[in-house]
Amino acid sequence: MLSIEQFPLLIVVISLLSAFTILILGWLNEKFSCYISIATVLLQFIMSILVLNHVLTVGTIHYWLGGWKPPWGIEYAVDAMNAYMLVTLLFLGLLCAVYSKKNIEHELPRKRVSFYTIYQLLITGLCGVVVTGDIFNMFVFIEIMSISSYALIASRGKIALKASFTYLIMGSIGACFFLLGIGFLYSVTGSLNMHDLSILLSPLYGNKVVQAAFVFFIVGLSIKMALFPLHTWLPDAHAFAPAEISAMLSGIIIAVSTYAFIRVAFSVFTLKFIMMYLPIFDIICWVSIIAMLYGSVLAITQTNLKRMLAYSSVANMGYIMLGVGLSTSTTMGLTPALMHILNHAVMKGCLFMVAGAFIYKADLWDIEDFRGLGRKMPYTTFAFILAALAMIGMPPSVGFVTKLYLIIACMEADQFIFVVAIFVSTLLIVYYFWRVIEYMYIRVGDGDDKEVEVDEVPTSMLIPILILGVLCFVIGIIWLIDIPLPLMDAVNSLFGLGVMP
């Protein structure tokens, strides 16, 4: 009989088996591909909710593959942080799968089977990274996630090959750094289990090999999560990928890489190592501030909506990593960073889906071509406005909550210059989103007085867009009334955070 403790493994295995099922049944009928993928991710999402409930009410789940006790065997360990990330990624993955049905039929009519096969492998990799308690197993799943991403970006054809190849090169370099870090740790400990490593490394914090391994992990994962200045693969990858993959890239894939960084930093090296030897988190804070401003300035210069949103993702990685950098010196701990991982997934997922809707209906890529869309596609553009207001930080949106918590964290850490940077970044965000809204509603074309026919995207595309648009404010209200904060407290207590040093 199945038990909740087996769900972390089943979430990964079901997704992997689904990829093979899609490939085989797709030969019989291509229409099966999308439905199998949606059903699989829906099942995974339901299981992830049950896992989250179990973790919060009972405790951490430990599953030993094949019955091999760690450190010899591979362990799947799911605590409050894993469970939170699992629910977040599968929620957006489900909406992207629903959205993709009509969009992929339109953009890639002859590649539906291969698209959904690889998409399911992508979900497999993402889930595997989140649930594993073995650092080499994490590397394997990061590569499954990355290779699937390269292929999905390239599925758009010639227009996307250069972007996919650039991502491949940068991603491979990041993987090499990550693997070197694993090798260094294994050479001094002889173990790959994360919990075991945290114990064995404790007397070795002064070892240069251990310190070098930490640096390798930072560099490798900074490439994967597109942290400035290692973000160069991101703009083209976001711009040319199918809309649902752009949403996954921006909302989840780089967020899961951020999760990997947090997990390695706090579960393997621990807070003691971070506070004792390296001022790396202070450096991360300053790099994050630069990313926030740099990404926002570059977003202003773009005429292509998807490239504008891509540079906005660079800026938002700055917000997330600023929260991570401040986590060791404030009572907030990782709360602002973890909040913004979910918030950014919702906001940017909505925005990229809207951009895909414009391309689907009229092949509109450039902002200047959006004249009159506010009346022609009222529901789609309404969702865009909701997500844009959330990005700006309009109360009570998710963006407002993130910035509020970040500002409090900055003030606790006596970093008032960071508060100024957040305000400047917000003003830049207002500018580049207002430009888009202006073209949609104010700068209309010829024949303004003529009646405009409403021409929305299909319902299967519109519903995920509207759900994410509305959630930009609903989740913000939920954050403000403190419903999920016990979950954040549970995460901070795992790593000894949330207490002023």
Q: What is the pLDDT along the chain (501 residues), one digit of tens a residue?
A: 667 888 888 999 999 999 889 888 877 887 888 889 999 999 999 999 999 988 888 888 888 887 777 777 888 888 888 899 999 999 999 999 999 888 887 777 778 888 889 999 999 999 999 998 889 989 999 999 999 988 888 887 777 788 888 888 888 999 999 999 999 999 888 888 888 888 888 888 878 888 889 989 989 998 888 888 888 888 888 888 888 888 887 888 888 888 999 999 888 888 888 877 667 888 888 999 999 999 999 999 888 888 899 898 889 888 999 988 888 888 888 888 888 898 989 999 999 999 888 888 877 878 888 887 878 888 888 999 999 999 998 888 898 998 999 999 888 888 888 899 999 999 999 998 988 888 888 766 554 544 456 677 888 889 999 999 999 999 889 888 877 778 888 888 887 776 544
Structure-derived torsion over alpha carbons of residues 235, 180, 204, 193, reported in degrees to the nearest 10: 90
Structure tokens at 80: 């409050």
Q: What are phi and psi of 76, to 5 degrees?
A: -100, 115
C-alpha distance from residue 439 to each of 115, 255, 442 (Å) = 34, 31, 6
C-alpha distance from residue 415 to each of 21, 422, 497 (Å) = 53, 11, 18
Contacts of 266 (CB under 8 A, 6+ apart): 274, 494, 495, 497
**Degrees (nearest 5) of the Cα angle 298, 302, 305?**
120
Q: Is the pTM of this model over 0.75?
A: yes
Yes or no: say if 169 and 229 are a contact pair by the CB < 8 Å rule: no
Yes or no: say if 303 and 367 are a contact pair by the CB < 8 Å rule: yes
SS (H, E, C) 243-283: HHHHHHHHHHHHHHHHHHHHHHHHHHHHHHHHHHCCCHHHH
Give 193's DSSP letter: B
Give 205's DSSP letter: T
What pLDDT sits at residue 450? 47
DSSP letters, 364-431, are: --BGGG-TTHHHHSHHHHHHHHHHHHHHHT-TTSHHHHHHHHHHHHHHHTT-HHHHHHHHHHHHHHHH
What pLDDT sits at residue 14? 92
Q: How far apart are CA 339 and CA 325, in angstroms?
A: 14
- The one-letter amino acid code at 475 reads I
Q: How many CB atoms lie within 10 A of CB 140?
A: 15
